[in-house]
Chains A and B, each alone.
Chain A
Amino acid sequence: MKRSQRVYERLVQAFPHEFKLAHGEEMLETGEAAMAHMGKRRGWAGLARLLVDAAVHVPIEYFSEMRRDLQYAARSLVKSPGFALVGILSMGLAIGLTTHVYSSNWAMLTRPMEGVAHADRLVMAQMPVSYFYIERYREQGNVFEGVAAFQTAVPFNMRLPGEADNKQQRIFGQLVSPDYFRVMGVDAQRGRVLSEAMDHAGDAPTAVISDKFWRTRLASRSDAVGLVLRVNGQAVTIVGIAPRGFEGALAAESASELFVPVTAPPAVAPELANDVLHRRNAREFWALASLAPGVALSQAESALDGVTRRLDADDPLAPPQSDKARRVTLLLAGTRAPIPLELKRALEGFFGVLMGVVIVIACMNLGAMLMARGANRRKEFAIRMSIGASRFRLARQLMSEGLLLSLLGGLLGFGLAYMLHVLNAQMYQAVDAPGLPELGIDWRAAVFAFVAALVCGVALSVAPALRVTRSELTPALKEGPAMQLPGHRRFGLRNLAMAAQLAGSLTLLLITGFVLIGFARAYRVQTNFDPRTMAMASIDPVRDGESPEKALDLFARLPQRLKVSGKFSRIALTTLPPYAAVDDDDKEPLTVDDPQAAQRVQQAAVKWSVGAGYFAALDEHLMSGREFNDTDERSLMEPVADNATRLMPVVLNETAAMKLFGSSSAIGKHLRDRSQGYEVIGVVHDLKSGMGIKQAIAYVPLSREDFVRSRAAGITILARAKPGMDGATAVRDVLSSLDPKLVPFHVESLSDQLAISRREIRSAMRTYGGIGGFGLILSAIGLAGITAYSVAQRKREIGIRMAVGANKGQVLRLVLREGIALITVGTAMGFAGAVLVSKALSAATSVIADALAMGTNDPRLLIGAPVLLAALALVACYIPARAVLRIDPLKALRTE
């Protein structure tokens, strides 16, 4: 009995303060009486009910108090709409922005591919290899559960059922080995996936389509499985539909809509021509493997490296290599964009820190604002305390205001993230490019940001709440906000926090500025002519159903036909659009072929096939030597028995020439790659890519191989239109008159093409610009809050100063001085932060490193950013500081 009485007393003590104040003693009395009564009549069952009743009501009463707190907080926020708006906006911006950044960038890197069961075990080699090699890799059964091969971004000219005959569409998909789906662990949502058991060479062509293809191009028709498509003029049967969201490996580079097995005949996919599956040097496939359970990435890497070395050594055509470096690097491939393990960890940290910093800055702001507001409401709190409100009660009140602001900010943030997502999606749609991934808002990120904001919002309002309610009642009642708070120090926690916040904002601003200016400089492609006059169109006659001979003939006649049309001043052919950026993966090592040299010089370079007059078409003068002419091209059209002995002319760009030959002249020197010897005939200036990257490039003439083999990018025609001519239409006309079967694609002007290539950069610039602008807004808000707080605190002091003769300008300066000290300290810290972060960022990704290198020495930014921030900060200080001008010395002194 005694024990239950003690438990009951404890429970009564646990009730909220207000409840205890009103009913605590009576509850004890009633409980005791009930217990005495019950002991006699109901025994233990009655006691238990008494205790359960009390225990159940403790949380109920707390909830009821919280509801009242929130109602009260809502009312008091409605009364100061400016404060509420600023608080909600800053929290909303923080949550919205971090969610958006996470959803669009981070998720792309780390989210497992949809519909893939083995996502955590998938790896792929960084460089493409031949199908022949992949078949050898498969023999490593103890390391891998399976190794699949695929080619991505393969174009398929397709006529959909029910569409007019002449309406061909170019759809991008993959050529995959039949075990591709098994290796990834992907099951069909309808029909079946491709498999080794069902798909053999010589069978009727089959394909698996993506869910997106089924929904958008086939209108989700129920009879899709079994439907026959015309792919490159051939009948291909759909055997299954991939699960929703699955867009193939490397989806970030190119989302795939169609999966065709490599067992299909070359007529369906010209990529499969020339016995590509058996030629050991046809490095055209990506190796995608599923690690066996318990096998580490490094283990698999060294196993593959060993196999590759053996295979390379057995290759009679390959030059002997003695390098010790790994020849195979494996990437984690379970995500939309495969990245190396170390980079993934670095990026994980970077994104986490970035999101954390933004949210913490916003919450610190909220804390500063709540503190300023609390200082102004000290009298209200003192009155409430003197009539019985507990300190905890009032602190809870301030905390519920913080909670409510975070809550409303969170809702706004969701809205903002959604809006940004829609804007992004619209912008992507506006640019007609193949395979852009469909990325929604990552709800986990949104929830994380929301919860983080709530926790921070509450946690950061604890300090101001406790501080404001720690005052002596009598002076607070007398003086209200004018009272000096205990523990105010010029460099106290609050001011340090404020300086840190300013520093954080400046760091954000500088970094984003560096990156922005760097990008803007790096991506400004300098053409020597108006890029709008350059029409571009790509064609791929073999895929359009022409025989190799017909294609050769077509390319031979094409330049002449364009010339005689009289609409173009310059014409050239190329395998890649000018100023395109090429992946580092596509580089091949070139070696200086000089028997007398003591040391073998090697340099990886992009091989880029261009036709005669390519540089003339771009108005680029060669630094030395000459460019290709028709004779070079014609001599290469003749098939020869031994490719290895024939020297192919090559034009190097400045970077490649510098790396291979240093300052000595490159003209006439010889080079080798794995299969071919070259003679340097010219050196040309670096043509910076649209991505701002300077790469070592070896330009080689277009050869027979380029014309007769179908390639995803096709052959691009460059035609500079004469003034007043519509180049694109004229090129189309000439092409259709030359061969009506041709399906030209990527028909656009060079300026359009450059704009597309800068799409990702623009999106990055928007993100970083948004973060920088956000930092500015936040720091201004924070400073304004702090200054308002400081003015409220020093009202009496200022009153005295004014009473003894200080004029308004002097007191204004007094208040601003503190702000300026904070700004100075914050700026110094911000610079240091920017240097540190830019170093860390440069180490993490090369794209940002390039931009940073170009942006960091820009005086506009180094001087402009701190000046802009300081100016804004001063304005933010000045507006609330003007409150001192309204201080009436008589009123301020009346309390003395």
Chain B
Amino acid sequence: MTMKQAEQFLPLKPQWFHILLALAGDEQHGYGIMQEVLERTTGKVRLWPATLYGSLKRMIEADLIAESSKRPRPELDDARRRYYRLTPLGRQVLDGECERLQGLVHAIQMKRKMVTG
């Protein structure tokens, strides 16, 4: 796996970025990802179920995320749920996208400073 491989995914689709970001902290199941994104964006971004699971499927195929074998404690677990985690490639892609976005924000700030003097 190389950086070049990760760059092929950039710029990342917004919903893929949100999913990767949601999985950056801990492993999550689909519903958890949806909730996390909703809370993090204060309700502005909602990943609808078909979009979410379609994206998850394609991200698994692209080797950005993987199904996790770790399960939570039995009293918190639901057998129907699948848990996902970031793969090393997924992490690289997320880092790459974050850097790209930071660069963008930096550029915007510079521009604003120039304009406002």
Interface residues of A (CB under 8 A from B): 19, 22-23, 25-27, 29-31, 33-34, 41, 49-50, 53-54, 56-58, 60-61, 64
Are B50 and A53 in contact, with the CB atoms below 8 A? yes
Are B80 and A25 in contact, with the CB atoms below 8 A? yes
Complex CA–CA separation, A33 to B80 (angstroms): 15
Name the 6 nearest CB pairs between A and B, nearest first. A57-B50, A53-B48, A23-B53, A25-B80, A54-B50, A30-B49
Complex CA–CA separation, A56 to B31 (angstroms): 20
Q: A residues within 8 A CB of B31?
A: 26, 29-30, 33
Complex CA–CA separation, A53 to B54 (angstroms): 11
Complex: chain A residue closest to B34, CB-CB: A30
Q: B residues within 8 A CB of A54?
A: 48-50
Q: B residues within 8 A CB of A60?
A: 54
Q: Which of B34, B51, B82 contacts A57 (CB 8 A)?
A: B51
Interface of A is mostly: helix
Is B52's beta carbon under 8 Å from chain A? yes
Is B40's beta carbon under 8 Å from chain A? no
Q: How far is the CB of B3 from chain A (nearest CB, A)?
A: 27
Q: B residues within 8 A CB of A26?
A: 29-31, 53, 80-82
Q: How far is the CB of B82 from chain A (nearest CB, A)?
A: 7
Complex: chain A residue closest to B29, CB-CB: A26
Complex CA–CA separation, A225 to B83 (angstroms): 79
Complex CA–CA separation, A615 to B53 (angstroms): 91
Are B56 and A23 in contact, with the CB atoms below 8 A? yes
Complex CA–CA separation, A26 to B56 (angstroms): 12
Chain B 28-66 per-residue mask, 1 if CB under 8 angstroms from chain A, else 0: 011100100000000100101111111011100000000
Complex: chain A residue closest to B38, CB-CB: A37
Contact A19 B30, CB 8 Å, known A25-B80, A26-B80: no
Q: How far is the CB of A62 from chain B (nearest CB, A)?
A: 12
Contact A34 B29, CB 8 Å, known A23-B56, A61-B54: no
Complex CA–CA separation, A29 to B82 (angstroms): 12
Q: Which of A22, A53, A58 contacts B49 (CB 8 A)?
A: A53
Are A19 and B57 in contact, with the CB atoms below 8 A? yes
Interface residues of B (CB under 8 A from A): 29-31, 34, 43, 46, 48-54, 56-58, 78, 80-82
Q: How far is the CB of B28 from chain A (nearest CB, A)?
A: 12
Complex: chain B residue closest to A42, CB-CB: B46
Among A19, A26, A27, A29, find the residue whose CB has the most chain B CB atoms closer than 10 A.
A26
Q: How far is the CB of B44 from chain A (nearest CB, A)?
A: 13
Are B34 and A34 in contact, with the CB atoms below 8 A? yes
Q: B residues within 8 A CB of A30?
A: 30-31, 34, 49, 52-53
Complex: chain B residue closest to A58, CB-CB: B50
Complex CA–CA separation, A64 to B48 (angstroms): 19
Are A49 and B48 in contact, with the CB atoms below 8 A? yes
Q: B residues within 8 A CB of A23?
A: 30, 53, 56-57, 82
Are A50 and B57 in contact, with the CB atoms below 8 A? no
Complex CA–CA separation, A392 to B84 (angstroms): 28
Q: A residues within 8 A CB of B58?
A: 64
Complex: chain A residue closest to B52, CB-CB: A30
Among B29, B30, B53, B58, find the residue whose CB has the most chain A CB atoms closer than 10 A.
B53
Are A22 and B48 in contact, with the CB atoms below 8 A? no
Complex: chain A residue closest to B33, CB-CB: A30
Are A34 and B49 in contact, with the CB atoms below 8 A? yes
Q: B residues within 8 A CB of A34?
A: 34, 46, 48-49
Are B49 and A27 in contact, with the CB atoms below 8 A? yes
Q: A residues within 8 A CB of B82?
A: 22-23, 26
Can you report 10 A-B residue pairs in the complex whose CB atoms are below 8 A from each other? A22-B82, A23-B30, A23-B56, A26-B30, A26-B80, A29-B81, A33-B31, A50-B48, A50-B49, A54-B48
Q: A residues within 8 A CB of B51?
A: 53, 57
Q: How far is the CB of A118 from chain B (nearest CB, A)?
A: 56
Q: B residues within 8 A CB of A56?
A: 50
Q: How far is the CB of A29 from chain B (nearest CB, A)?
A: 6
Complex: chain B residue closest to A26, CB-CB: B30
Q: A residues within 8 A CB of B34?
A: 30, 34
Complex: chain B residue closest to A46, CB-CB: B46
Complex: chain B residue closest to A49, CB-CB: B48
Q: How far is the CB of B23 from chain A (nearest CB, A)?
A: 15
Q: A residues within 8 A CB of B29?
A: 26
Q: B residues within 8 A CB of A58?
A: 50
Q: B residues within 8 A CB of A33?
A: 31
Among A25, A41, A58, find the residue whose CB has the most chain B CB atoms closer than 10 A.
A25
Complex CA–CA separation, A33 to B43 (angstroms): 15
Q: A residues within 8 A CB of B30?
A: 23, 26-27, 30
Q: A residues within 8 A CB of B81?
A: 26, 29
Complex CA–CA separation, A33 to B31 (angstroms): 9
Among B29, B43, B57, find the residue whose CB has the most chain A CB atoms closer than 10 A.
B57
Complex CA–CA separation, A333 to B37 (angstroms): 72
Complex CA–CA separation, A429 to B31 (angstroms): 72
Complex CA–CA separation, A97 to B31 (angstroms): 57
Question: 19 extra interchain contacts, Cβ-Cβ under 8 A, other than A23-B53, A57-B54?
Answer: A22-B53, A23-B56, A26-B80, A26-B81, A27-B49, A27-B50, A29-B31, A29-B78, A29-B81, A30-B31, A30-B53, A34-B34, A34-B46, A34-B48, A53-B49, A56-B50, A57-B50, A57-B51, A58-B50
Complex CA–CA separation, A597 to B54 (angstroms): 96
Q: How far is the CB of B41 from chain A (nearest CB, A)?
A: 14
Complex CA–CA separation, A75 to B49 (angstroms): 33
Q: How far is the CB of B16 from chain A (nearest CB, A)?
A: 15
